[in-house]
Amino acid sequence: MIRAVKVCKTFKTTDRREVKALVNFSTHIKKGEVVVIIGPSGSGKSTFLRCLNRLEEIDSGEIIIDGVRITEKKVDINKIREDIGMVFQLFNLFPHKTVLENVTLAQMIVRKRKKKEAVDTARDLLHKVGILEKENVYPSQLSGGQQQRVAIARALAMHPKIMMFDEATSALDPEMIGEVLDVMKKLAREGMTMVVVTHEMGFAREVSDRVIFMDAGQIVEEGTAEHFFTNPAHERTKVFLSQIL
């Protein structure tokens, strides 16, 4: 489903230093697989997600999604993005649109669905994430957890083949993390291909097929969540896990 081959990405900071975010990063994610990426801040996990839908352009290497080499210039990236849902740390709901409009907008102007079809799809998904009663409310009137669930519904409404979560629970108050994770778990059990950047090891243990530990733009160690809990091999992994657990 997703294959990354020797991906390199370097950022220039404002004081012109070069920061290597991804260094010859290679991995393969199968259809239906739930992959959790963990690692210290600045290790390149979010950059990897953002390269998968080309919110960031890579410097070298290649990324192939569903048989399409998306890193080539002539690829219609908008078409690719329709099939990759993304959920952000800060939700990024459209504040001038109601909850329902947030979920229907892209369906209508990108997928070209009729209004009725878009609204039906949106209501189904809002019901699924448990927030249907708020459909006519503006995002600013919702709690963080509610906003993030709407954001998930908005991404799902495009019927994506892959869902990416970029620290989706990091900006939430502790008591709201659960409701968002529950939605993500439900999605994982339904067989969605998911790439999840998170520090929630409980989530990783419960539903992930594989955990990747990244540091300095490279994979340090990967394996099942159980492996990370019981016998992590590298010293860096142990130090990191002792900090977040």
Q: Give whichever of 135 and 215 is closer to another protein, judged by the CB atom.
A: 135
Among 25, 48, 88, 213, binds another protein (CB under 8 A): 88
Q: Which of 29, 36, 70, 81 binds another protein (CB under 8 A)?
A: 81
**If you compute the radius of gyration of the chain from its CA atoms, what whole number of angstroms results?**
18
**One-letter identity of residue 165:** F
Q: Least distance in Å: CB of 181 to another protein? A: 21
Question: Which range, of 13-21, 63-71, 73-81, 232-240, touches another protein by CB under 8 A?
Answer: 73-81
Secondary structure of 24-64 in HEC code, one letter for each residue = EEEEEECCCCEEEEECCCCCCHHHHHHHHCCCCCCCEEEEE
> In which residue are the tokens 């006519």 written?
136
CB of 245 vs another protein, minimal distance in Å:
30
Contacting residue, 94, 234, 239, 245, with another protein by CB under 8 A: 94
Distance in Å, CB of 118 to another protein, minimum = 13
SS3 helix, strand, coil % of the chain, rounded to 5? 40, 25, 35
Tell me which of 43, 46, 47, 53 binds another protein, using CB under 8 A. 53
* 35-43, 142-150, 152-160, 198-206 -> range binding another protein (CB under 8 A): 152-160
Stretch that binds another protein, among 92-100, 142-150, 181-189, 236-244 (CB under 8 A): 92-100
Q: Binding residues for another protein, how many (CB under 8 A)? A: 29
User: Least Å distance between CB 237 and another protein?
Assistant: 30
CB 176 within 8 A of CB 145: yes
Task: Compute how many other C-beta atoms are within 10 angstroms of the C-beta atom of residue 162.
Answer: 20
According to the binding rule CB under 8 A, does residue 78 interact with another protein?
yes
Strands (E) located in the chain: 2-12, 18-29, 34-38, 60-65, 68-69, 84-87, 162-166, 193-197, 210-215, 218-223
Separation CA 189–CA 121 (nearest Å): 20
Which stretches of the chain bind another protein, using CB under 8 A? Answer: 53, 55, 78-79, 81-82, 84-86, 88, 90, 92-98, 105-106, 109-111, 138, 140, 151, 154-155, 158
